[in-house]
Amino acid sequence: MLLGLTVCGAFLSMWFATGVGEGRYRLQDSLSLFSSTSLSSTEYTILFKIRLPRVVLSFLVGGGLAVCGAALQGIFQNPLVDPYVLGVSSGAALGAVIAILSGVYLGLLTVPLFAFLFATLTSFLVLRLSVVGKKIPLEVLLLAGIAVGFFLSAFISLGMFIAGENLHQVVFWTMGGFWGRGWLEVKMVLPFLSGGLLVLSLFTRELNTFLLGEKVSRSLGVDVERVKKWLMLAVSLVVASCVSVSGIIGFVGLLVPHILRLFGYQDHRFLLPLSFLSGGVVLLLADTLARTVLHPVELPVGIVTSILGSPFFIYLLRKKKREL
């Protein structure tokens, strides 16, 4: 029922976002998605080659980040964990910086490919570093993530320092945004996202038992370490693919699942799909805002999410403190 509503909401906001934008393409124009005959070829190109893929991509990235945030928060039983806890963001940024500065060209997807590669490597490195015995304690993971992040950030800064005229490109990338993204990026994200979602959906009941504590979960027959390993693998691939096409977009992955939990959705069988849908909607709307609010200048969407997200995060922190 509620899932259905959210799905409708998602389609509605996609339709809205496709309609909003430059020129005379008003809301009702995006209806022409369903009957493209009435459009001129320019209009057709703008709607289908520029706006629609961007809408779809921002939805997928937002959904991917949020669902990964929800899963990681479930794994660690800690609401303050976000998808970048594995160090993916700095890894991706370094990859992008290297791709931009080295001038390597392997087709249109060069930068995202580098970003993806480095992001995946970083998350595996962080996971590897945080294994103690057979377990992955949260504190160790956080510290390993931070330490590796700092190390990579130094190289990112170095890259920026020597970037010269490419500096703005690097800076833009790290801010996160969807300008100039098309179907190619959608195609790049989609396999990882669908694979990741499949894995996550296999383990929703296990994630629920984590709520009762790891000991209980084990006593119910859950192979806790194996479940964690699969989940983290799925999460790191999904997050890496998202980051590689969008840059670093903060707070969607932290904020969306947390709001849902505040509304009482703790059951991962609902929490995960809801996170995906609402995360998608949130980022889609944020991106629509980003490209229209200061028209004709376009803001990086990462700025929008952070400006809206940080106050919420502070609110969370305050509330948490009061509970302690």
Nearer to other proteins, 72 or 222 (CB): 222
Provide the greatest CA pair distance for the chain. Answer: 64
Selected range binding other proteins among 111-119, 147-155, 264-272, 301-309, rule: CB under 8 A = 264-272
In a 13 Å sphere around the CA of 18, the CA atoms on its Cβ side amount to 27
Selected range binding other proteins among 98-106, 218-226, 250-258, 272-280, rule: CB under 8 A = 218-226
**Which ranges of the chain would DSSP assign to H, the alpha helix?**
2-19, 41-45, 52-76, 88-102, 110-129, 138-161, 167-175, 183-202, 204-210, 214-219, 224-246, 252-262, 268-292, 301-323
d(CA 233, CA 29): 41
Nearer to other proteins, 222 or 304 (CB): 222
Q: How many residues of this chain interact with other proteins, rule: CB under 8 A?
A: 22
215 near other proteins (CB under 8 A): yes
Nearer to other proteins, 49 or 205 (CB): 205
Min dist CB 234 to other proteins, Å, is: 15
Read off φ and ψ for residue 135, nearest 5 degrees. Answer: -110, 165
229 near other proteins (CB under 8 A): no
Angle between helices 2-19 and 52-76 (to 10 degrees): 140
218 near other proteins (CB under 8 A): yes
Contact pattern from residue 72 through residue 101 relative to other proteins, giving x for each residue in contact according to CB under 8 A and a dash for the rest: -----x------------------------
For every residue of 30-55, DSSP letters joined together read GGGGS-GGGS-HHHHHIIIIIIHHHH
Are residues 231 and 199 in contact, defined by beta-carbon separation less than 8 angstroms?
yes
At residue 324, what is the residue type?
A: L
Given 12, 108, 211, 294, the residue binding other proteins (CB under 8 A): 211
Given 157, 194, 266, 310, the residue binding other proteins (CB under 8 A): 266
205 near other proteins (CB under 8 A): yes
Omega before residue 296 within 30° of 0, cis: yes
Selected range binding other proteins among 2-10, 171-179, 260-268, 311-319, rule: CB under 8 A = 260-268
Given 213, 310, 317, 320, the residue binding other proteins (CB under 8 A): 213
> Which residues of this protein are in contact with other proteins, per CB under 8 A?
77, 133, 202, 205-206, 208-209, 211-213, 215-216, 218-223, 261, 264, 266-267
